[in-house]
Amino acid sequence: MKSKVLDGIERILARASKRVVCFVDDDSKINVKACSTVRSAPCPDCQSWSDRLHGSYVRCLTERPSLEQQVVIFVEIRRFKCPSADCPRRTFAEDIQSLAGRHQRRTRSQARALQALGHALGGAAAARLATNLGIHASADTVLREVRRAGVGKQRVPPQVVGIDDWAIARGHHYGTIIVDLERREPIEVFAGRETTVVADWLRDNPSIRIVARDRAGAYSEAVELALPAAQQVSDRWHLLGNLRDNVESMLHRLGPQLRQAAQQVEVGSVPMGRQGLPRGTALRGWQRLSDDRRAARLARYEEVMALHAQGRTMKGIARELSIDHRTVRKFVTARAFPERARRTRGPTPLDAHRGYIEERIRQGCHSPRLLWKELRERGYTGSRAAVRDCVLRLLTPQGKDPLVKQPPRTMACPSPRRAFGWLAGWKKLNPDRPQGDEHERFVEALCVLEPSVAVVRSLTRQFLGMMHRRHPKNSTNGSSAWKAVV
């Protein structure tokens, strides 16, 4: 394998009249030393050939990696004396343009690799990929190589182009970009988006037959002035944008119907917290501290069980996690996370009034403040917070039926934009994105309340389904135009 690598390097050096002298291979780098076989060379100014050797020096060139090893070539460069007395140049170095460019520290092969990456990905992305491939270069270096490559072969005259604006300084200065849609590559970028600027460029390209543009009037006028026979079309992104704007304007007028449909969709009861209180209820300091400690114990329990599943011993787990081995044994032998027993309640001043509180709650009084005032009149001397906690426990007890059944929780009224996404069923085109059943129930309720929404839903989903069948890849991935619009 090493001989094949060396043979390839020798062929590259032979083009520049070099010969391999030494080949050093270590774990991470291959160092190749090459001497020059040039006996004479022409002067770059007067073109006079000279065989009068003046001296030599060594250039260090990096080549593309081979077998995950960096290749560095140390090339001898000979310097000659110019024989012409009229030439202003006294000495000159031999030419190795076939191997590396002037003043460059990389070979032509590595430079072409950076140019290909730069053309495909740009500066920063190409530099990151080049580093993973073993070619160390910054984003500026990649862009410099792309500029040095210059313009490639002459492009075929464009026939189908897309025109759009881009912000040089958002809100102040804009430019125009023109893309060849058949070859999927930009062909022109210039400052300004005025009608005259775009029309001048279109006149210089009379081969254009189809122009895809946005809804800007300046581009429409430019096409009509320069290429009146060209067909103007809208791309998929703006088609979806037009659809969204029109449906949203209709949904904005149906605010009462949206709220009524949301109230008909039940999404479950009020979620409860660990303390037996409705989620969102402000907890006391000791309750928050209890929850934090339980979360820490649960995390430690999961760590112990994960290590035990890997085959670790109990004492080994205890040493690794710096906990007592008896705690590890308790976690491992338990069938589930061992909850700590709740502290038993002793007698309180509220016990004598508990029956009265339950009766008042059944009558419909759920205000802890009002109940506290009534209990004060009955001789209660405790705090209002104790009454509040008792009322909440009676309304939402753990493991028992509540005294008063809580009403089901309904859906919050969505915005017109979100309702349009549910109406269009866009998540069905993205099976990786989960969609709740309540969204479809909301759409069904809205269609019953407003029959025109059912017609819009049918037409919208037919249109999106047609686009999905024509462009399945662009309709399902995360970078699709549909995701950008919705």
Task: Render pLDDT for 13-35 as a digit per residue (tens, 0 to 9).
Answer: 888 888 888 878 777 788 888 88
Closest by Cα among 328, 391, 337 to 365 = 391
The predicted pLDDT at position 280 comes to: 45
The predicted pLDDT at position 406 comes to: 56
Structure confidence by residue, pLDDT tens digits, 264-315? 887 765 444 444 444 444 555 666 777 788 888 899 999 999 999 999 899 9
DSSP secondary-structure letter at 408? Answer: P
The one-letter amino acid at 82: C
Task: Tokens for 326, please give them.
Answer: 């008896």
Q: Which long-range contacts (CB under 8 A, 24 or more apart) does 292-299 make?
A: 294/340, 297/337, 298/337
Between CA 193 and CA 277 the distance in angstroms is: 60
Between CA 168 and CA 187 the distance in angstroms is: 18
The predicted pLDDT at position 301 comes to: 92
The predicted pLDDT at position 210 comes to: 92
Mean pLDDT, the chain cut into blocks of 10 residues (486 residues total) = 68 83 80 88 88 89 84 89 88 87 86 88 87 88 82 71 85 86 84 85 90 82 89 81 86 87 74 45 63 86 91 90 89 81 71 86 84 88 84 64 61 86 67 63 89 87 73 42 40
Closest by Cα among 220, 172, 167 to 189 = 167
The predicted pLDDT at position 268 comes to: 60
The one-letter amino acid at 272: M
160-234: CATH architecture:
2-Layer Sandwich (3.30)
Structure confidence by residue, pLDDT tens digits, 234-247? 877 778 888 888 88
The predicted pLDDT at position 343 comes to: 64
What is the CA 158 to chain-centroid distance, rounded? 33
Residue at token pair 């430079």: 111
CB 325 within 8 A of CB 370: no
The predicted pLDDT at position 275 comes to: 41
The predicted pLDDT at position 483 comes to: 40
Coil, strand or helix at 259? helix
Parse the chain into domains and list their residue ranges. 2-105, 108-151, 160-234, 252-264+411-485, 279-340, 349-407
Between CA 120 and CA 114 the distance in angstroms is: 10
Between CA 482 and CA 90 the distance in angstroms is: 67
Between CA 43 and CA 90 the distance in angstroms is: 9
